[in-house]
């Protein structure tokens, strides 16, 4: 009986809270039903079909080294340069490893007097531009890092809200890779206040035109409503959470930059709310500050370019889910990087250095679904560790995403842990092989200065410079391996290659050695591979370089081991 009373009480409290929220949301000019569509948060609801694909940098998965796995926050300019020299001295650069990616903790906790990021004043005293030149002098490329948040993961200044100036800074330093993390991210609000009207004027002049609610054409749930506590007694409502749009046509005599003054009804909120002013297809973002209701109305100004003649101006807030927010924020930086690298090349008269853009969103909002609309590579999971369970779990998840990759757009299962931790030689070899089969970036995370100073250094170097595996990873088709079969505890992976060959990997996932026999004629059954015939195929073992001709592969695979073959089908 007591349990029933408690249950009824909780339900009653829930109903009261829901109704209070529902009517308060409606009173704020927001659509309550639309606000309920925020689940699941990983689903992108924005129509991205009209967004242009960002070109970005490398068309094949990048190869290089990153400071994070081995060094964490213990970096300085001498250490980074020593790693770059080691990349050359060990032959890694000749094998294709070109990017020297400086992860978190390279920068000062202070922006400079111009609001620009700067290298740590003690550990990078020469500045990042100078370090970039030294790295370039070795025939290598510099990569940098911040976060899509208010701070980086190590609580240093980040780029959310500073995308344009930071992109210009990175381009001016000659960066050719940029990793954008997800720590301290702040989701864009799906809420939008009631818009009373927008006044438009030239800078330094009085308002010459008003975009009032009665002039708008509405779509979706958006509409004009009566608002007693606004001077004009009317406003545009229901723009929130993708509910609808208000569109205006405006003719101006001459194009150029105009002041848009947005007059709005204050919305009770502890966080900034949001709206997009889309002018002739270009998105201009405005953030309304959290408000104190001493007065009911307020104004916000922004500068927007208009064309001579007719302009189409749309007010909207397409943010429904966290995925929508992430898409907007990551695309904002991607566009800034592309514009900055192009503008810097024009300014200096030098050849443009496209910046390969890495979306390190941890796979939280399924960035592979955004594909080339945002960046060149996207993390599929949270961080990797030098533990077999971590490597295996990331492989199991990422191998399923094969269909989302293409030239210039790749799945990123995170940096290589080859040579780190207590991985066995077989596990190191398997780790590298699986990443190559998945067309993943090959970014080393070990201490390159120590690569030949310990007992397994040469073995590790031999693994990561295996030219045959690197050729598989760098194949221009950029079609990752698909898991096409499973033989007991052995995964069968295959990927098509640009010259018509097929790469085949047999991966023993168990803790026991396995004998495996595989009929390669089965490969013809999978349309993804595109094989028409296999008669008298040549098979090359890419770890032993043995070559043979057979219809069946018979082999023994050690625990957590792989066998990788290149099959010539003609």
**Tokens 């094998």, located at residue:** 95
Cβ 278 vs Cβ 314: under 8 Å = yes
Cβ 436 vs Cβ 442: under 8 Å = yes
What pLDDT sits at residue 21?
A: 55
Close Cβ partners of 310 (under 8 Å, ≥ 6 residues apart): 249, 250, 251
Q: Which pLDDT tens digit goes with each residue over 323-339?
A: 999 999 999 999 999 99
Average pLDDT of the segment spanning 504-509: 98
CATH classification code of 481-568? 2.60.40.1180
Q: How confident is the model at residue 234 (pLDDT cuts 50, 70, 90)?
A: very high
CB atoms within 10 A of CB 146: 27
Q: Which residue from 65, 75, 176 is spatially nearest to 415, judged by alpha carbons?
A: 65
The mean of the pLDDT values for the chain is 94
Mean pLDDT lowest for which of 15-19, 259-263, 358-362? Answer: 15-19
Q: How confident is the model at residue 16 (pLDDT cuts 50, 70, 90)?
A: low
Task: Report strand pairing: 490-496 vs 482-487.
Answer: antiparallel
What pLDDT sits at residue 457?
A: 87
DSSP assigned state of 382 = S
Q: Answer positive or negative: Cα dihedral of 451, 455, 458, 463.
A: negative
Q: Which pLDDT tens digit goes with each residue over 58-97?
A: 999 999 999 999 999 999 999 999 999 999 999 999 999 9
Region(s) of the chain under CATH 2.60.40.1180: 481-568
Dihedrals phi, psi of 233, to nearest 5 degrees:
65, 15
Query: Between the CA of residue 411 and those of 388, 444, 548, what are the distances in Å?
Result: 20, 16, 33
- Whether the per-residue pLDDT at 505 is higher than 90: the answer is yes
- Whether the per-residue pLDDT at 455 is higher than 60: the answer is no
More confident residue, 50 or 198: 198
Tokens of 112: 């400079």
- Whether the per-residue pLDDT at 20 is higher than 70: the answer is no
Enumerate the β-bridge partners of residue 223: 237
What pLDDT sits at residue 372?
A: 82
Residue 505, classified by CB atoms within 10 Å of its CB into exposed (0-12), middle (13-18) or buried (19+), is buried
Superfamily of domain 63-186+327-472: Aldolase class I (3.20.20.70)
- Whether the per-residue pLDDT at 3 is higher than 90: the answer is no
Nearest-5° Cα angle at 238, 235 to 241: 140
Dihedrals phi, psi of 163, to nearest 5 degrees:
-55, -45
What pLDDT sits at residue 157?
A: 98
Q: How confident is the model at residue 385 (pLDDT cuts 50, 70, 90)?
A: very high
What pLDDT sits at residue 10?
A: 72
What pLDDT sits at residue 82?
A: 97
Q: How confident is the model at residue 23 (pLDDT cuts 50, 70, 90)?
A: low
Average pLDDT of the segment spanning 453-470: 88
More confident residue, 182 or 10: 182
What pLDDT sits at residue 12?
A: 67
Q: Which residue from 562, 378, 371, 368 is spatially nearest to 472, judged by alpha carbons?
A: 562
Average pLDDT of the segment spanning 27-51: 90
Range list of β-strands (E), 266-332: 273-279, 282-288, 297-306, 309-316
Tokens of 568: 């010539």
Region(s) of the chain under CATH 2.60.120.260: 190-318
Tell me, rounded to whole angstroms, the distance of Cα 485 from its chain centroid: 30
- Whether the per-residue pLDDT at 459 is higher than 60: the answer is yes
**CA–CA gap between residue 443 and residue 99 (Å, rounded):** 8
**CA–CA gap between residue 193 and residue 263 (Å, rounded):** 10
Q: Which residue from 205, 214, 216, 298 is spatially nearest to 258, judged by alpha carbons?
A: 205
What pLDDT sits at residue 19?
A: 63
What pLDDT sits at residue 269?
A: 85
Region(s) of the chain under CATH 3.20.20.70: 63-186+327-472
Q: Which pLDDT tens digit goes with each residue over 511-552?
A: 999 999 999 999 999 999 998 777 778 999 999 999 999 889
**CA–CA gap between residue 105 and residue 128 (Å, rounded):** 12
Q: Which residue from 341, 377, 332 is spatially nearest to 170, judged by alpha carbons?
A: 341
What pLDDT sits at residue 24?
A: 65
Specify the DSSP element, H or E, that contains 225. Answer: strand 223-226
Close Cβ partners of 255 (under 8 Å, ≥ 6 residues apart): 305, 306, 307, 308, 309
Q: Which residue from 243, 482, 156, 187 is spatially nearest to 364, judged by alpha carbons?
A: 187
Cβ 106 vs Cβ 120: under 8 Å = yes
CATH classification code of 190-318? 2.60.120.260
Q: Which pLDDT tens digit goes with each residue over 301-327?
A: 999 999 999 999 999 999 999 999 999
């Amino acid at each position: 009986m007591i349990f029933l009373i408690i249950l009824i009480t909780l339900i009653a409290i829930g109903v009261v809270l829901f109704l209070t929220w529902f009517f308060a949301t409606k009173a704020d000019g927001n659509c309550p039903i639309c606000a309920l569509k925020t689940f699941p948060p990983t689903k992108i609801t924005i129509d991205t079909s009209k967004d242009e694909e960002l070109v970005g940098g490398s068309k094949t998965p990048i190869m290089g080294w990153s400071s994070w796995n081995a060094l964490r926050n213990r970096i300085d300019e001498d250490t980074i340069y020593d790693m770059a020299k080691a990349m050359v001295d060990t032959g890694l650069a000749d094998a294709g490893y070109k990017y020297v990616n400086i992860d978190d903790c390279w920068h000062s906790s202070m922006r400079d007097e111009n609001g620009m990021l700067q290298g740590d004043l003690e550990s990078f005293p020469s500045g990042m531009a100078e370090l970039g030149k030294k790295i370039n002098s070795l025939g290598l490329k510099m990569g940098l890092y911040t976060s899509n948040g208010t701070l980086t993961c190590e609580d240093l200044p980040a780029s959310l809200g500073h995308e344009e100036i930071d992109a210009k800074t990175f381009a001016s330093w000659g960066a050719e890779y940029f990793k954008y993390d997800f720590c301290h991210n702040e989701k864009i609000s799906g809420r939008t206040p009631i818009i009373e009207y927008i006044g438009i004027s030239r800078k330094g002049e009085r308002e010459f035109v008003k975009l009032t609610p009665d002039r708008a054409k509405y779509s979706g749930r958006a509409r004009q409503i009566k608002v007693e506590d606004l001077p004009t007694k009317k406003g545009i409502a229901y723009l929130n959470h993708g509910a609808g749009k208000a569109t205006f046509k405006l003719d101006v005599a001459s194009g150029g930059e105009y002041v848009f003054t947005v007059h709005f009804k204050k919305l009770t909120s502890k966080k900034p709310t949001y709206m997009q002013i889309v002018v002739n297809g270009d998105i201009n973002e405005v953030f309304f500050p959290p408000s104190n209701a001493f007065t009911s109305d307020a104004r916000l100004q922004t500068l927007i370019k208009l064309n001579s003649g007719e302009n189409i101006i749309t007010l909207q807030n397409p943010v429904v889910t966290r995925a929508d927010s992430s898409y907007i924020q990551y695309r904002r930086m991607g566009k800034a990087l592309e514009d900055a690298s192009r503008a810097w090349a024009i300014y200096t008269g030098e050849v443009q250095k496209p910046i390969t853009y890495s979306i390190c969103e941890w796979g939280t909002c399924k960035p592979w679904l955004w594909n080339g609309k945002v960046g060149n590579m996207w993390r599929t999971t949270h961080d990797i560790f030098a533990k077999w369970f971590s490597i295996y779990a990331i492989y199991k998840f990422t191998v399923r995403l094969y269909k989302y990759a293409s030239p210039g757009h790749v799945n990123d299962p995170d940096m290589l842990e080859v040579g780190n931790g207590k991985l066995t030689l077989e596990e190191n070899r398997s780790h590298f092989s699986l990443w190559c089969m998945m067309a993943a970036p090959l970014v080393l995370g070990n201490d390159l200065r120590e690569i030949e100073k310990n007992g397994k250094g040469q073995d590790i170097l031999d693994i990561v410079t295996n030219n045959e595996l690197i050729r598989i990873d760098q194949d221009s088709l950029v079609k990752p391996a698909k898991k096409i079969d499973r033989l007991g505890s052995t995964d069968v992976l295959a990927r098509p290659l640009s010259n018509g060959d097929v790469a085949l990997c047999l991966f023993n996932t168990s803790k026991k050695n396995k004998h495996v026999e595989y009929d390669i004629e089965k490969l013809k059954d999978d349309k993804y591979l595109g094989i028409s015939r296999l008669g008298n195929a040549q098979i090359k073992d890419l770890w032993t370089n043995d070559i043979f001709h057979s219809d069946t592969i018979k082999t023994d695979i050690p625990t957590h081991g792989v066998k990788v073959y290149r099959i010539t089908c003609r």
